[in-house]
A and B are shown apart, each in its own frame.
Chain A
């Protein structure tokens, strides 16, 4: 069973995964948009976690089937049948045809389907693109490109924080995070991730509440990036 879960050795597989709680909430659809997007980005990289999300979805199906039926209005079926004629049957289309909103091929599919703002200066060595999510849920989502060797401005946050590396790698007290690796840390953690010295690090970050940036420069630019 364990062997069946391993991806083919040719594919690089992330080593830091979301926990079962996050995966089950993702499958149940109860995560806020920000964390859901970070988990979806990880899933684009990780066959192991895709397995598990499918399995949690199957739990959803089984629970749905065992749900106590609640009667609909008497004419509900009739009314729905009347609407079928206007409903076009969708063709089976290749997944590649799913519309993408962002043209950057370096981004994983989950992210290319989102509305992203333009690249903006955040701090020396750091640029960022805002990812539009519903602000009512309290999450800010940013795509950061951090120059080799620079600190990633995600330490000292007040709320829950979710990160997925898309390209390059960073290191912090929890280890090395490369492509597809995901980290979920809460407000008690004050960490200082550093991009590795041999290349830029591209990462997606969702933070609940405002991001606190420790450096003086960070404090100055914070109002500009709206974090």
Chain B
């Protein structure tokens, strides 16, 4: 099962070259940066030229990871397979909307996969449930400082993620992607409930520190 072996097949242990001060990039390479740039260029090539080779390259990287993500959220294998292809089709259609100053390619593709997964879940629950999915994303254009902050946070977040021990990452993955109750996570990873809670607490404290550094003051 994909969720049982977190950390396998990781693209890179690299951050985005922007590591918190005082932390050495132990084991980190520039791979992720390069990969993100390549993916952003592929998206641009699709948008401007309908470049099928660029699409194929994106498909080979992302489709198996999207399928894996969808399996993690509990989708049956056949549906995960179909939906992963739908997500890639949406990536093709929406490529012109991708804005590299606003989000990394992986983040943007994740939001597409997330939205299509929610739509599919609605359809499977009831035929007429059709709440506009765009409610999930802020509608108004954002001021430049918003975007800058988000990009910086994304980079620091990834650097932090790269330094998390694999066992903490496994718990974060299940908790974030699936919102799985702690006892479920314990059962699926074969670890005690207390261990789930302590790992999640440690990992989330670090991630929150990056995402919401002012959180304690509010």
Contact = CB atoms under 8 A, between A and B. Distances in A.
Chain B contact residues (Cβ within 8 angstroms of A): what range? 35 or more
B103 A58 contact: yes
B129 A136 contact: yes
Contacts of B55: 81, 84
Given A64-B65, A70-B71, A89-B47, A58 B158 contact: yes
Contacts of A63: 69, 110, 161, 172-173, 176-177
Chain A interface category by residue count? 35 or more
Would you call the interface of chain B mostly helix, strand, loop, or mixed? helix
Contact of A28 (B50, B94, B179, B217): B179
A55 B150 contact: yes
Interface of A: 1-2, 4-5, 8, 17, 20, 24-26, 28-30, 33, 36-37, 40, 43-44, 47, 50-73, 76-77, 79-81, 83-84, 87-92, 95, 98-99, 101, 109-111, 113-115, 132-137
B129 A81 contact: no
7 contacts: A4-B145, A33-B122, A47-B142, A51-B149, A55-B154, A57-B111, A80-B89
Contacts of B115: 29
A60 B111 contact: yes
A60 B94 CA distance: 19
A133 B6 CA distance: 35
A83 to B, nearest CB: 6
Given A64-B106, A90-B93, A51 B157 contact: no
A66 B11 contact: yes
A143 to B, nearest CB: 14
Contacts of B46: 89
A136 B59 contact: no
B131 A114 contact: yes
Interface string B189-217: 00000000000000010011011111101
Contacts of B85: 72, 76, 79-80, 83
B122 A134 contact: yes
Nearest to B7: A66
Interface in B108-141: 108-111, 113-115, 117-118, 122, 125-126, 129, 131-132, 134-136, 138-141
Interface string B36-67: 00000000001100101001100110111111
B104 A44 contact: no
A79 B146 CA distance: 39
A50 B138 contact: yes
B178 interface: yes
A24 B208 CA distance: 10
B146 A70 contact: no
